[in-house]
Amino acid sequence: MIPELESFNLPVLSLITLTPAIGAILLSLVDRNNKALLRQAALMISFLTLLFSLLMIGNFDNAVGTMQLEEQHTWIESLGISYHLGVDGISVLLVLLTSFSMPLVFLSTWSAIDDRVKEFQIALLLLQTGMIGAFVALDLILFYFFYEAMLIPMYLIIGIWGGRERIYAALKFFIYTMVGSLLMFLAILYLYQHTGTFDLPLMLERIRSTHPLGPDQQFWLFSAFTLSFAIKVPLFPLHTWLPDAHVQAPTAGSVVLAGVLLKMGTYGLLRFSIPLFSDAAFDLQGVMCWLAIIGIIFGACMALVQNDIKKLIAYSSVSHLGFVVLACFIPSVEAITGGILQMVNHGLSTGMLFLMIGIIYERRHTRELADYGGLAKVIPMYTIFFLIAVLSSIGLPGLNGFVGEFLILFAVFRDFPLWGVLASTGVVLGALYLLNMVKRFLFGPIVHEENRTVADLSVREIIYLLPFVVMMFWLGLYPAPFINMVKPTLVLYVEMLKS
Amino acid sequence: MELIISRAEILAILPAGILFITGLVQLFSDLGKSGDDTRSEKTHLAMIGGAGLLLALAALFVQGTAASTGSLYAGAMTDDLFGRMGAGVVMMTALFCTLMSGGYLASSANNRAEFYALICFCAGAMALLCQATNLISVFVAIETLSLAVYVLAGYFKENRSASEGAFKYFVLGAFSSGFLLLGMAFIYGTTGGSISFSDIAASNGQGDSLFSIGTLLILIGFSFKIGAVPFHSWVPDVYQASPTLAVGWMAVAVKASSFFALCRFLLFTGGGQELAQILAAIAVVSMLLGNLAALNQRSLKRMMAYSGIAHTGYLLIPLVIVVSGEGASAGASIPFYLFAYAATTLAAFGVITAISVGTDRDDVSDLDGLARSRPFLAIGLTIALISLAGIPLTAGFIAKLMILQGAVSSGFLTLALIAIITTLISVYYYLRPVVAMWFREPRSSFDLVPAPWGVIFTVAVCAIATVSIGIFPGWLVNLSRLSVETILG
């Protein structure tokens, strides 16, 4: 008889969260000159994490809308801090996205990073623990631990392996993030004082029953939390750190930043800001949605005029995440489902775009659009993959981007037609700047002689790009399994918001 | 009066006594040695010091969390958990400084027994200060430890700026002792001749305005020792001029023991709203000035000096709460903070010592590329700086969490907010050495000599302690709470 997986009672979430960190500790014992071993070991560790994530999906019950696979242990009893993990429909896909992208990112760094390989792998692994931990933590201080723990590795990744202006970009990234998170920290302490617990489910319950917050309290606490998350997203006008960070970061850094780290902001809005302070969230719905819409259009316009490919994609992130923020503040199951799918979609398409820009950068050492042109004939394989990623980002039906955007716009149009119209212009502009980029990048005549000899994708590169393409088609053609995972949670979530 | 000394009284002074004897043994062991072997490492001095300190720590540890003995020596001191924690911080610091001394002093051709002995004497006096429960014993302990620190600050007597710094420290220190004594006299006068803390607390002189002035003067005296604004001006100059090791010793042990004594005094006497406001003002300007001035420092020692002033500001927040009577339990964050601060600061000064060995340089740019040339030291200093900036997974974060939690729950939101904003400022300058170590390339013109083993050991232990207290702080939090509860009764 084969015992069921559940009967093992594995602490799945702890395994997913802590495997990379333990791996990082083990890696620190490896000789720094043995680069091959370091690279392979880090890849294996991230694969192991992915396996644990699949185990999580296997044990995840789609019919349940509350927290699942919970683990709770006392940790720092005297300060009221517990080790409490859990997933629900809001976080499960994001955990999966993170553990899905990381092995591919590791594979991509084999050729891109040759200096201080050991430190790089360790930093990426620690970053992974921080990201997954923040998605599954249900204790506010534990969340804050992971949330801040992402900061140092990312700072080092930008600062050590980044481009020419890396020190400036790293510092800007760090300071911006710290501004938000420190104020959030104060708000967390205030909430503890008010409700007597750091435990999120318990706190939610107490705020909704025995310890209600006054309007002023709600306003300030909401502002403190939302500022922190809005910087992470980044929401207009707090986005200025993002283009710098993206342009200076090494490819792997950009991929993680766009693919996962930015989602921390929108996830935080959904998990903390909105349910904890729902009155303030409703009062400020207009402000937040307008900022999101300005971000959508502003990001798209900025992307239109960029000559640096990486900067263009960075601004497209500002635009795309505007849709997600908009979705978060529309209290309907469709909108938020779309928002969560859009987070995953953006992670896939932008992650892949950054990887592909990294590939061409390794060959030509430039990211200026003017230095390219006509590559389609030279590197056809690259062109096909790149086009798929671009079309997914534009939201072509049949690819993943469409599903999320459609659900969001559908819900927004129904309740707020004006916002719907304005947001839709972002889709049009998106097609414009992305196709324009493709035209200048890959098509047209070959102006520069160097471009005639560029090598096409290697086997290793195809291996790490292919999973992205598979997921794009899967999400685009048959998103039902993913929507089913999300939906029960969101039904309860929206009910709670409206009560 | 009973003249026979009780067992509890012997036990109470045992750790300090061991240290005084250790210092004497060190001095005698170096007698008759010729003057020109000051370049050798003299491991025996560190061995004697280490053994004595371990013995003293063991004597503390045996007492453990045993209940307070009540007043000993006719109310001059007590033996309770709070005092033991203070003595513990000081002695561990002394242990690490002793271990680092050999290599550091030998490289500057100044290795003499006095340095080791002075640290032991100083640590003994500090242990007594943490246990002191009347004004006289506080004063005697402070004077004893100060004299030792004056000499340590000017230990490199051939160096003119060091002598200047030591002299400055001495003059200002003497001045502050005057304030302290005057304040004690006021309190003595207004409370009908009481000198022990409990008598002062029980007397009815509290309402007298002269009593408040007395408390204020005592506060000023202590402010010099802990380096609080506006009595901080000596700190950067003395830090920069003094031997790096002596600076590490001052930054940790002098501050910790003074805070333990001040906290005990204020827990007994309270002080009322006016004093709380003055204290809050001192805290705010210390946080602001310390962090802002640190932004522009090129010298690591000066940066640490201003950062120390800022941390004094953070540490004053729980005292404000204690004095205002909003919640004496907020005092529990002080022992914890000082433990965390000691581990963190020692790790930082360990690395600064390693860099300044033989070169006496401490510029931020001297750290360029340290992550390549000395990855181990770079990791140690990075952990220390992250902890000082109060970023999670380090002891510094939990320490800040406790202080801010205390402030928020007693309604001092403004203080908490200022602490948060200044912390943000501090991130900027704490990152500068990180940038130099990790993001820049080593400079070929400046070769580091291998770090002495004592330094490596100290950095390793303190960095590991910083992280492990950051992840599992429960035991230390409980200990700190318990220690303050024993005082409150």
Candidate from A77, A79, A160 with C-beta closest to B401:
A79
What token pair was written down for A167?
């020190």
Whether A3 shows a pLDDT value over 50: the answer reads no
B414 in reach of chain A (CB within 8 A): no
Listed by start position, the domains of chain A span 284-499
The yes-or-no verdict on residue A308 having pLDDT over 60 is yes
Residue B386 to residue A152, Cβ atoms within 8 A? yes
C-beta atoms of B408 and A144 within 8 A: no
CB of B328 within 8 Å of a chain A CB? The answer is: no
Q: Is B393 on the interface with A (CB under 8 A)?
A: yes
Closest residue in B to A77 (Cα) is B474
Report the residue from A167, A179, A193 with minimal CB separation from B408.
Answer: A193
Q: How far is A227 from chain B (nearest CA, A)?
A: 15
B488 touching A, CB under 8 A?
A: no
Cβ-contact A78, B477 below 8 angstroms: yes
Q: A18, A74, A79: which to substitute to probe chain B, counting the most B Cβ within 10 Å? A: A79
CB contact under 8 A, B439 and A175: no
| Measured distance CA(B168)–CA(B233) in Å, rounded | 10
Rounded CA gap, B440 and A492, in Å?
A: 52
Distance between CA atoms of residues B176 and B485, nearest Å: 30
pLDDT of residue B206: 64
Is A182's CB within 8 Å of B391's CB? no
What was the pLDDT predicted at B205? 63
The residue of chain A with its CA nearest to that of B414 is A186
Residue ranges covered by each domain of chain B? 287-489
When pLDDT is averaged across residues B111-116 and rounded to a whole number, the result is 84
- What residues of A are in contact with residue B408 (Cβ under 8 Å)? 186, 189-190, 192-193
B428 at the A interface (CB within 8 A)?
yes
Identify the pLDDT of residue A96: 92
Q: A322 to chain B nearest CA, in Å?
A: 28
| Residue B347 pLDDT greater than 90, yes or no | yes
The arithmetic mean of pLDDT across residues A157-182, rounded, is 88
Q: Which of the four pLDDT bands, split at 50, 70 and 90, describes residue A142?
A: very high
Query: In this predicted model, what pLDDT tens digit does every residue of B283-328 receive, in sequence order?
Result: 999 999 999 999 888 899 999 999 999 999 999 999 999 888 877 7
What is the predicted ipTM?
0.87
- Identify the contact set of chain A against chain B, taking CB-CB distances under 8 A: 75-79, 119, 141, 144-145, 148-149, 151-152, 155-156, 159-160, 166-167, 170-171, 174-175, 178-179, 182-183, 185-186, 189-190, 192-193
Contacts with B369 from chain A: Cβ below 8 Å:
none
Q: Which of A79, A159, A179 sits opposite B424 (nearest CB)?
A: A179
Could you give the CA distance from residue A480 to residue A336 in angstroms, rounded to a whole number?
Answer: 15
Contact between chains at B420 and A185 (C-beta distance less than 8 A): yes
Is A77–B405 a contact, with Cβ atoms under 8 angstroms apart?
A: no
- Tell whether the model's pLDDT for residue A272 goes beyond 50: yes
Q: In the predicted model, is pLDDT for residue B38 greater than 80? A: no
- Cβ distance A79 to B402 less than 8 Å, yes or no, reads yes
**What is the predicted pLDDT for the residue at A186?**
92
Q: Give the C-alpha separation, A58 to A52, whole Å.
A: 10
For range A393-403, the mean pLDDT: 88
What is residue A2's predicted lDDT score, i.e. its pLDDT? 41
In chain B, what is the greatest distance between 2 CA atoms, to the nearest angstrom?
71
How high is the mean pLDDT of chain A? Answer: 89
Nearest CA in chain B to A144: B392
B48 and chain A in contact, CB less than 8 A: no
**Interface test mutation site (partner A, options B295, B401, B471, max chain A beta carbons within 10 A):** B401
Quote the percentage of chain A above a pLDDT of 90.
43
CB contact under 8 A, B393 and A145: yes
Size of interface A-B (CB pairs under 8 A): 78
Task: Write down the pLDDT at residue B77.
Answer: 86
Pick the residue from chain A with its C-alpha nearest to B369: A160
| Tens-digit pLDDT profile for residues B73-112 | 878 888 888 999 999 999 999 999 999 888 888 777 777 8
Which residue on chain A is closest to B425 by alpha carbon?
A: A175
Whole-number average pLDDT of chain B: 87
pLDDT digits (tens, 9 = 90+) for A62-102: 888 888 888 888 888 888 889 999 999 899 999 999 999 99
Picking from A183, A185, A223 by the largest number of B CB atoms within 10 A of its own CB, the best residue to mutate is A185
User: DSSP class of residue B134?
Assistant: B
Q: How confident is the model at residue A470, as a pLDDT?
A: 93
Beta carbons within 8 Å of A427's beta carbon, 6+ residues apart: A394, A395, A405, A409
Is the pLDDT score of B149 beyond 90? yes
Find, in chain A, the residue whose alpha carbon is nearest to that of B399.
A79
| pLDDT surpasses 70 at B239 | yes
Give the pLDDT band of residue A1 (cuts 50, 70, 90).
very low
Among all residues of chain A, which has the CA nearest to that of B482?
A: A78
Please report residues of B whose CB lies closer than 8 A to that of A149: 392-393
| pLDDT tens per residue across span A317-344 | 999 999 999 999 998 888 999 999 999 9
Q: Is B417 on the interface with A (CB under 8 A)?
A: yes
B401 touching A, CB under 8 A? Answer: yes
How many CB atoms are located within 10 Å of the residue B423 CB?
24
Nearest to B474 among A76, A119, A185 (CB): A76
Burial group, residue A142, by CB count within 10 angstroms (0-12, 13-18, 19+): buried
The residue of chain B with its CA nearest to that of A120 is B438
Query: For residue B34, what pLDDT is reported?
Result: 60
The mean per-residue pLDDT over the stretch A113-130 comes to 89
* Amino acid (1-letter code) at residue A290: W
**In degrees to the nearest 10, what's the CA dihedral of A57, A59, A64, A68?**
-90
**Residues B391, A186: C-beta atoms closer than 8 Å:** no
Taking contacts as CB-CB distances below 8 angstroms, the residues of chain A near B472 are: 76
- Is the confidence at residue B425, as pLDDT, over 50? yes
pLDDT number for residue B447: 62
Q: Is B392 within 8 Å of A145 when comparing Cβ atoms? A: yes
pLDDT at B3 over 70: no
Query: Which is more confident, B373 or B282?
Result: B282
Determine the Cα–Cα distance for residues A287 and A381; give it in Å rounded to an integer: 45
Decide if pLDDT at A427 tops 60: yes
**pTM (two decimals):** 0.91
Q: Do B420 and A183 touch (CB under 8 A)?
A: yes
Does the beta-carbon distance from A189 to B401 stay under 8 Å?
yes
